[in-house]
Amino acid sequence: MMRVLALVPGGIDDQILFFPTLDDLQRHYPQAEIDVVAEPRAKGAYRVCKSVNEVLTFDFKNRNSLADWANLLGKIREHEYDLAITLEQRWIVAALLWLTGIPSRIGYAGSAAESLLNHAVPLKTDQYAAYRYHDLLQGLGITTPCPELNINVSTKDLEWAEAEQKRLGLLGGSAASNYVLIHNGSSDLAQSQGVNNIYPVGHWQQIIQNLQQRQPDLAIVVLQGPEDHAWVSQLRQACPELKVTAPEDVGKLAAIIAAASLMLCTDSAPMHLAVAVQTYTIALFGPTDPKKRLPSDPRFIGLKSPTGQIADISPTQVLTQLWSA
């Protein structure tokens, strides 16, 4: 049996975008046991991943001491891995993997760490992130196309979503649900790094009012994450008839997204879950290129700000895209 370790820094969105790589690796090596090193804030993503055995945690973004790195080194050595795949390009991570004695180490070319890898794959930053991650499998001679993003939602999470729809008045008897989900989250970490994905409340109000006028029977539900309380409160003051759901984990979040007719959101982890469950999505982007965050598929539309500021996407532009679908 081959034992594989993948080092995947970043948030929940980065983990989700790495799922196709993990799934394809498992498909080519069905007997392989795959573990992942992820940041503590992103560990919950693996609730919906079907190809990972164990998740180790390490805060790549933290100012780690030598003792922290040594502790991670010891944990990795205990598992005696045969193969390591890393998204992290820093020299210290490549050195760590070299010290573990893992015989095969795959990462990206073009960095100071390249000399410590067995296989360095060209880094193509101008493509959809899931495809860029999947390129790492070229180090194993795997050149098949990247599979679609896919997740595994448990029966318990689907049952929770059905109960939540009933609580919100979205299901009656055997009637099918019909609702639009809105998510406007931007993590504290993203905002501290100067990335503001918050679309103004006034803009959302115009979109919501137009939806209600044109389809009065269509329910509108706001997704509230742990850091979204203030924004959701402001939006409900402007639109008090809105319904709010706050799934407590990624599995329940995916299940409630899967049942929606439409997802309106900013660039965030829920956007990637919407892609995975194939819910029609219109996503708003500030400075980021939508082609790097969404697959080329008419079901997933990215609207980019003409100025790089997400607030400069007009409600009219969003509504034009929505009603032309």
| Tens-digit pLDDT profile for residues 284-293 | 999 999 999 9
What rounded mean pLDDT belongs to the chain?
A: 92
| Contact yes or no for 220/235 (Cβ under 8 A) | no
Q: Where are the beta strands (DSSP E) in the chain?
A: 3-8, 33-38, 54-57, 83-86, 104-108, 119-121, 179-183, 219-223, 243-245, 262-266, 281-285, 300-304
- In three state form, how does the secondary structure of 73-84 look? HHHHHHHCCCEE
pLDDT above 90 coverage of the chain, percent: 82
Cα 15–chain centre separation: 6
Taking alpha carbons only, the member of 121, 152, 145 closest to residue 21 is: 145
pLDDT digits over 159-183, tens only? 999 999 999 999 754 445 689 999 9
Q: Which two tokens stand for residue 228?
A: 């979204």
Q: Which two tokens stand for residue 85?
A: 């795949």
- Rg over alpha carbons for the chain, rounded to the nearest Å, is 21
User: CB within 8 A of 45, min separation 6: which ones?
Assistant: 12, 15, 16, 38, 250, 269
Tokens 């095969």 belong to which residue?
104
pLDDT digits over 42-96, tens only? 999 999 999 999 999 999 988 889 999 999 999 999 999 999 999 998 888 999 9
Q: Which two tokens stand for residue 151?
A: 């997740």
pLDDT digits over 281-325, tens only? 999 999 999 999 999 999 999 999 999 999 999 999 999 999 987
CA distance 95 to 88: 11
pLDDT digits over 108-137, tens only? 998 777 889 999 999 999 999 999 999 999
Taking alpha carbons only, the member of 107, 142, 149 closest to residue 27 is: 142
Centre a 10 Å sphere on the Cβ of residue 113 and count the other Cβ atoms it contains. 24
C-alpha torsion 131→137→143→144, nearest 10: -60
pLDDT digits over 211-261, tens only? 999 999 899 999 998 888 889 999 999 999 999 999 999 999 999 999 999
Q: Which CATH architecture has domain 3-140?
A: 3-Layer(aba) Sandwich (3.40)
Looking at residue 262, its pLDDT comes to 96
Q: Where in the chain is the domain with CATH 3.40.50.2000?
A: 3-140, 155-324
Q: Which CATH architecture has domain 155-324?
A: 3-Layer(aba) Sandwich (3.40)
